[in-house]
Amino acid sequence: MKSTCFFILAIVDLIFILISVIFGDPDKIFLGLASIIKESDILITDYIAIGGIEGAFFNAGLVGLFVLALYRINKLEINGSLIAAHFTTLGFALFGKNVVNIWPMIIGVYLYSLYQREPFKNYILIAVFGTTLSPAVVQFAFLNLFGRFSIVLGILIAVFLGFLFPPLAKFCLKLHQGYCLYNTGLAGGLMATIMMSKFRAFGIDFERRLVLSVGNNLLFTVIFSIIFICFIAYGLRERNLLKKYKELCKTTGRLYSDYHNEFGCRVTFFNMGLLGLIFIYYVILIKGELTGPIIGAILTIVGFGALGKHVLNTIPVLLGTIISSILNIWDVNSQSIILASLFGTNLAPISGEFGWIFGIIAGFLHVSVVMNMSYLHGGLNLYNNGFAGGVVATVLVPIISSIFRKKVEYKY
């Protein structure tokens, strides 16, 4: 069954490559990919706008296959964490991660594993998620501080960040106690904030960026609806699916709730497909635009459908973000608010553990916090919502557990 899951992940990656050929111009695939590699990757850079459908989806498919190659080379058996890492990286390969900039961070984590004299497979998850800081490679090269050696500087800085990333990521889990699913977003945000603070002290800053594609709603709705329906159809082959799915929806989702290991591949993909359909049609319902970042956010939700997210613990957080956007100054269908609503579901464990009301409160707070976080790290941390979610969970969980006398088993 685990080999079947690996095969499904590989098929999804190949579908992305196929999309680039069928719905883009095959002759422009490598031109689009080259444009993506040479461009700044800081938030928010939509690769569909930079390299077209052909370049963006080809890049995403290759990145996904590279991640699977890392799994295979290190002889890892597929579980919920690896599924979540794969889909998150696949999604962010539409806006920020590419076939070149992911490797320095991964190499840095590999060097850390050598330093610790431990197998690299113990750090694969951190290495893949750690590519949240991939924009540092090109962005530091753009500073052109050392002429032709600037790109080398960018690579070395990214490798160094990768080396420092594992201990910080592990410690951040203690801060929010597993109630923020995008743990590496908090770690990446803290690290990038410190870096940007020092750069700004020397008068170096990065311009804020907002590059988005438009006009692909019908195409993307059809393509991804088919993919998610296929996931659901695969899950429907499971015996006692309804009973098992009810049990899955009773879980809190707190890290690490591995649905693949606990409920099996079919139930997991049923949950993933259901989440994918719900959130893609949510975007369409509010008349949002299915851009690269939005598709990336939906794929991240789908991936974490194997590691903590389900319908009952995500919807309350989504409601909280909607209420916040209605009461605040932002439009509910603006790109920033849609991204906050989708990625804000990283706080789903709060809803699962403490109830719907607190899930709504978490989502309500998340929107305001995330809108102020990107300045801190200068757009270098792709998991901006993970950073904000980690902060919200770190503050909110101890308050809830103390005031409302809800016992939390702390993990150290």
3-state secondary structure of 240: coil
- Is 129 within 8 Å of 88 (Cβ atoms)? yes
- List phi, psi (to 5°) of 340: -65, -40
3-state secondary structure of 211: strand
State the pLDDT at residue 412: 46
- Is 162 within 8 Å of 130 (Cβ atoms)? yes
142-148 long-range contacts, CB within 8 A, separation 24+: 142/40, 143/204
* Residue 212 domain flag: no
* Residue 371 domain flag: no
State the pLDDT at residue 410: 58
State the pLDDT at residue 178: 92
- How many residues in total does the chain contain? 412
* Residue 291 domain flag: no
* Residue 96 domain flag: yes
State the pLDDT at residue 54: 96
Residue 96's domain spans which residues? 2-201
What is the residue-wise DSSP string for 324-389?
HHHHSSS-TTSHHHHHHHHHGGGGHHHHHHH-HHHHHHHHHHHHHHHTTTHHHHTT--S-HHHHHH
**Residue appearing with tokens 């690290």:** 191
Say how far apart CA 62 and CA 54 lie, in whole Å: 12
* Residue 355 domain flag: no
* Residue 261 domain flag: no
For 190, left (φ over 0), alpha (ψ -120 to 50), or beta? alpha
* Residue 364 domain flag: no
Per-residue pLDDT of the chain (412 residues; tens, 9 = 90+): 557 899 999 999 999 999 999 999 999 999 999 999 988 888 889 999 999 999 999 999 999 999 999 999 999 999 999 999 999 999 999 999 999 999 999 999 999 999 999 999 999 999 999 999 999 888 777 666 666 677 888 889 899 999 999 999 999 999 999 999 999 999 999 999 999 998 889 888 887 788 999 999 999 999 999 999 999 999 999 999 999 999 999 999 998 899 999 999 999 999 999 999 999 999 999 999 999 999 999 999 999 999 999 999 999 999 999 999 999 888 899 999 999 999 999 999 999 999 999 999 999 999 999 999 999 998 899 999 999 999 999 999 999 988 876 666 655 4
* Residue 338 domain flag: no
Number of domains in the chain: 1
Contacts of 294 (CB under 8 A, 6+ apart): 283, 288, 335, 338, 339, 342
